[in-house]
Structure 1
Amino acid sequence: MSESTRISCTVTDGVADVRLNRPDKLNALDPEMFRALVDTGLRLNDDPGVRAVVLSGEGRGFCAGLDFAAMAKFSEGSNTRDLTADQPIGPAKARGQQAAYVWNHLRVPVIAALHGVSYGGGLQIALGADIRLTAADARMSVMEIKWGIVPDMTGTQLLPELVGRDVAKELTFTGRVVSGEQAAQLGLATRVEQDPHAAALALAAEIAGKSPEAVRESKRLLDMAGRVDLATGFDAEQDSIGQLFGTPNQVEAVTANMEKRDPVFTDPA
């Protein structure tokens, strides 16, 4: 499965391996990359055979952020459709926001594997993932302040959830670069791995071996936390558990555990 020259995507045993594929430009974001990210995410969301996603970058880094040279040429007369979203993805209306939020929007877990640089828009795309595995020497920055602008790809809303409001402000106001080790300490990354991509694929395979409906519902419920009141969240838990009990995959999970064998789950309709 491949969406464009900007993104490569293969699906194996329920795991989608998605790679930003512009290594000569450190996977910098241009209109085609924005469009490819959104299109790839939406297609994966519609694929019932996908149970987990790994998001990474080819070459020397994850993503260096906005390609200012390409965007300058674009603004001089290219087709504005490339930056205009056809329809909202949840609350995300702008194409740049959708390129990051589409990974949060996916019903299945998304694991970002970070190495080299994740700057500006590149970091915001990583924030859209559910889990971030990073190399110790990776470098991350909320870089927009350097250019006199603000993070406008969902970063101002998602970053405080991870690191706290005060740390999010400090990183955004200064644009300071943090290492992968520091990112893990701050909560910007989940943990440090020697080989983030290999670790992400292994984790995705483990998740893909669990009941797909239970994983999807777990992601949905956890994403509600802190965004809805407790009564709404508690009610959602009870609705989910009621819907899962007695389904074929839930019965298979119990049966496989009792028989001490690996479960064999079917993909959701």
Structure 2
Amino acid sequence: MTDLVEESTNDVDHRVACTVEDGVAEVRLARADKLNALDPAMFSALVTTGLRIRDDPRVRAVVLHGAGRGFCAGLDVDSFRDMVTGDHEPDRQQAAPAEPIGPARAPGQQAAHVWAHLPIPVIAAVHGVALGGGLQVALGADIRLVAPDAHLSVMEVRWGLIPDMTGTQLLPELVGRDVAKELTFTGRVVTGQEAVALGLATRVEADPLAAARTLAAEIAAKSPDAIRHAKHLLDSAGHVSLETGFAAEQDSIRALIGSSNQTEAVEANFARRAPSFTDPSPYRPAQERR
């Protein structure tokens, strides 16, 4: 096991810990005494960690979870007090990274969207609470495994706010426009069981972290090239025309057939052995690609 992000570095301010083992990065929100509440340092730590994972070709899957009694309780209560006193200045909370993270520009949006931005699968293991911004961070994952007694809520309306960490754009796609409105307008809390029924979560697990680790290991054992192409295609579905989507499928299949990792997958299957795949090239921002 190797440290991808050092817990002692100043830039993450002890907020997030990350290790990599056997192709799986395990990211832990590490502010257990505050139920992993979000503050500017946590936003920065999440973004920094996500970008470091993106640039590490060893990583083939990510497990995202919270330390202590819950996944994330949302925005730090002190931030709400600052709003009342007038000390809250959202545009000055954190400088944006040197490069944009997809369409996300605001720090909170980047902290949630960085996980969707990764070219590899991200699995969120949710126990305890995932409230407000904490839920929106979980929504950035590709798959959400939740404890049956977990509590999830689009809670911003209770503070006179709206979900502004990508939630208004993601919720309708996951649960439907009417359910997204009901959850956002009321701020009601749902259990893990109801979250799955609504589409907020993928499935219920008695031990979501253990299940997430097992699933991540299974994904990491597959061809990283095929997984990356599949994530890109599935994420674009519904956001591009069928003509564009069908053409992208063919571009991907042509790139995969006969490649070293695809050949290894075929040979390993016929030989009834575990495959040994080669890590892909390091990620480069789109503007640098030729």
Range into which the TM-score falls when normalised by the shorter chain: over 0.9
Distance apart, 1:24 and its partner CA: 0.4
Pair 1:166 & 2:175 matched:
no
Match of 1:132 among 124, 139, 144: 144
CA-to-aligned-CA distance 1:213-248 (integer Å, 9 cap, x gap): 100000000000111111010000000001111110
Pair 1:197 & 2:197 matched:
no
- What SS class does the counterpart of residue 113 from structure 1 fall into? strand
Is the CA contact 1:83–1:96 (under 8 Å) kept in the aligned structure 2?
no
Pair 1:265 & 2:277 matched:
yes
Say how many residue pairs are matched.
Answer: 269
Which position in structure 2 is the counterpart of 1:217? 229
Distance apart, 1:70 and its partner CA: 4.7
Distance apart, 1:88 and its partner CA: 1.5
Q: For residues 234 and 72 of structure 1, what CA distance do their matches in structure 2 show? A: 50
Distance apart, 1:84 and its partner CA: 3.0
- Give the alignment's TM-score, normalised by structure 2: 0.89
Pair 1:183 & 2:192 matched:
no
Distance apart, 1:160 and its partner CA: 1.0
Is the CA contact 2:79–2:88 (under 8 Å) kept in the aligned structure 1?
no
CA-to-aligned-CA distance 1:156-192 (integer Å, 9 cap, x gap): 0011111111111110010000000000111110000
CA-to-aligned-CA distance 1:68-96 (integer Å, 9 cap, x gap): 31575697489965423133211001110
Q: For residues 68 and 235 of structure 1, what CA distance do their matches in structure 2 show? A: 48
Report the residue type matching 1:115 in the other structure.
H
Match of 1:69 among 70, 78, 86: 78
CA-to-aligned-CA distance 1:93-132 (integer Å, 9 cap, x gap): 1110000000000000000000001000000000000000
- What SS class does the counterpart of residue 85 from structure 1 fall into? coil
After superposing the two structures, state which structure 1 stretch, 73-82 or 174-183, moved more.
73-82
Q: For residues 65 and 81 of structure 1, what CA distance do their matches in structure 2 show? A: 19
Unaligned runs of 5+ in 2: 7-11, 282-290
Q: For residues 166 and 89 of structure 2, what CA distance do their matches in structure 1 show? A: 25
**In the superposition, relative to structure 1, how do residues 251 and 54 fare at CA in structure 2: closer, same or farther (>3 Å)?**
same
Is the CA contact 2:69–2:127 (under 8 Å) kept in the aligned structure 1?
yes
Q: For residues 103 and 191 of structure 2, what CA distance do their matches in structure 1 show? A: 31
- Give the alignment's TM-score, normalised by structure 1: 0.96
Q: For residues 147 and 82 of structure 1, what CA distance do their matches in structure 2 show? A: 19
Which position in structure 2 is the counterpart of 1:45? 54
CA-to-aligned-CA distance 1:23-72 (integer Å, 9 cap, x gap): 00000001100000000000000000000000000000000000131575
Pair 1:35 & 2:47 matched:
no
Q: For residues 120 and 142 of structure 2, what CA distance do their matches in structure 1 show? A: 9
Q: For residues 55 and 142 of structure 1, what CA distance do their matches in structure 2 show? A: 19
Q: For residues 273 and 76 of structure 2, what CA distance do their matches in structure 1 show? A: 50
Q: For residues 157 and 83 of structure 1, what CA distance do their matches in structure 2 show? A: 22
Q: For residues 20 and 48 of structure 1, what CA distance do their matches in structure 2 show? A: 22
Report the residue type matching 2:72 in the other structure.
C
> Aligned-residue CA RMSD in angstroms?
1.6
Distance apart, 1:13 and its partner CA: 0.2
Report the residue type matching 2:74 in the other structure.
G
Q: For residues 263 and 38 of structure 1, what CA distance do their matches in structure 2 show? A: 33
Which position in structure 2 is the counterpart of 1:95? 107
Q: For residues 261 and 214 of structure 1, what CA distance do their matches in structure 2 show? A: 19
Which position in structure 2 is the counterpart of 1:21? 30
- What SS class does the counterpart of residue 83 from structure 1 fall into? coil
Report the residue type matching 1:130 in the other structure.
D
